[in-house]
Amino acid sequence: MSRYSRIAGTGGYLPETVRTNYDIAKMVDTTNEWILERTGIFSRHIAAAHETASSMAEIASLQAIAESGRNAEDIDLIVLATSSPDRVFPSTACLLQQRLNIRNCASFDVQAACSGFIFALSVADQYIRAGNAKRVLVVGSEINSRLVDWTDRTTCILFGDGAGAVLLEVSDEPGVMSTHISSDGRYRDLLYLPSAPREKSCCGVGERYIKMQGNDVFKIAVNTLGKIVDETLAANHLEKSDIDWLVPHQANIRIITATAKKLKMPMDRVVCTIETQGNTSSASVPLAFNQAVRDGRIQRGQTVLMEAFGGGFAWGSALVRY
């Protein structure tokens, strides 16, 4: 009998505080119109001082576990994607494990910037298929608001905070049909965070914030995502018309629209959260997926294409029968 993984439950969390474009226009030289037109973003959530990547991950994870009908102790692996960890070590996954009071399970972080959740899902899927895990908690959690320079209008307008989670479990039918991940370190200088968030004392001001050549990233993202959706369909012998939903990473509405066009998908089959969440990095795909499952758009049995692109560059896709 073949062994696959399937998504048994989903969860999400967004911090209470909302920062609109009008709020940002009071901080840097920008306008609501510029941000909305160039990015599709109107507002984003900002974590409170007491919140961390692990505290947000806990809320999203508890929802995913409850939704799946399982208990925390049924989980035998936690894979968490973040670029804004609570601590350099132990891993945020380990801190999440403690919060969930789970014992005797491995937990580790995956770091692939905005593509982190797709990478984490890919790792979790391999563990399950190989027979090394039965139930894996896969999480993306980010406090980007602590990684951006709030005086830099080219980056601070883009990012937001949040966490998304899925509980992946063993199944004799797919489930996760395929995952495809790639990276190319030649592009390391186009989008990066110079130092770990906790190393504030060892670097000068300006060294601890996200740096991005936005326009270059934009062009390569559009091209790469166009290619990866074709590769994903080909690997599964599927046509564009076989995809029910596109759940893209939410970096820029113009990147999302270009990918949808390439797939010949009308925008009402594309899950977009960017307007009210901005770019939540590794949390954006699971947050969007969770939202569309909860509001009844994505139904059991439907085919969903998830994709992401970000720093590294690192990019990936997952084709999922929900």
171 and 4 Cβ atoms separated by less than 8 Å? yes
Q: CA Rg, the chain, in Å?
A: 18
163 and 139 Cβ atoms separated by less than 8 Å? yes
Give the DSSP letter string of 60-113: HHHHHHHHHT--GGG--EEEEE-SS-SSSSS-HHHHHHHHTT--S-EEEEE--G
Least Cβ distance, residue 242 to ligand UT7 (angstroms): 27
92 and 57 Cβ atoms separated by less than 8 Å? yes
Q: Which is nearer to ligand UT7, 105 or 181 (CB)?
A: 181
74 phi and psi, to 5 degrees?
A: -75, -10
- The catalytic position among 94, 105, 114, 156 is 114
Q: Which is nearer to ligand UT7, 39 or 182 (CB)?
A: 39
Residue 50 falls in the annotated catalytic set: no
- The catalytic position among 21, 94, 249, 272 is 249
Task: Please name the residues in contact with 86: beta carbons below 8 A apart, sequence gap of 6 or more.
Answer: 52, 53, 54, 92, 95
Residue 94 falls in the annotated catalytic set: no
Q: Which is nearer to ligand UT7, 30 or 126 (CB)?
A: 30
Footprint of ligand UT7 (CB under 6 A): 30, 34-35, 38-39, 114, 153-154, 157, 214-215, 217-218, 221, 251-252, 255, 279, 309-310
Q: Which is nearer to ligand UT7, 38 or 180 (CB)?
A: 38
How far is it, in rounded angstroms, from Cα 229 to Cα 221? 12
How far is it, in rounded angstroms, from Cα 80 to Cα 226? 27
Least Cβ distance, residue 315 to ligand UT7 (angstroms): 9
Least Cβ distance, residue 311 to ligand UT7 (angstroms): 6
Least Cβ distance, residue 31 to ligand UT7 (angstroms): 7
CB-based closest residue to ligand UT7: 214
| Residues designated as active site | 114, 249, 279
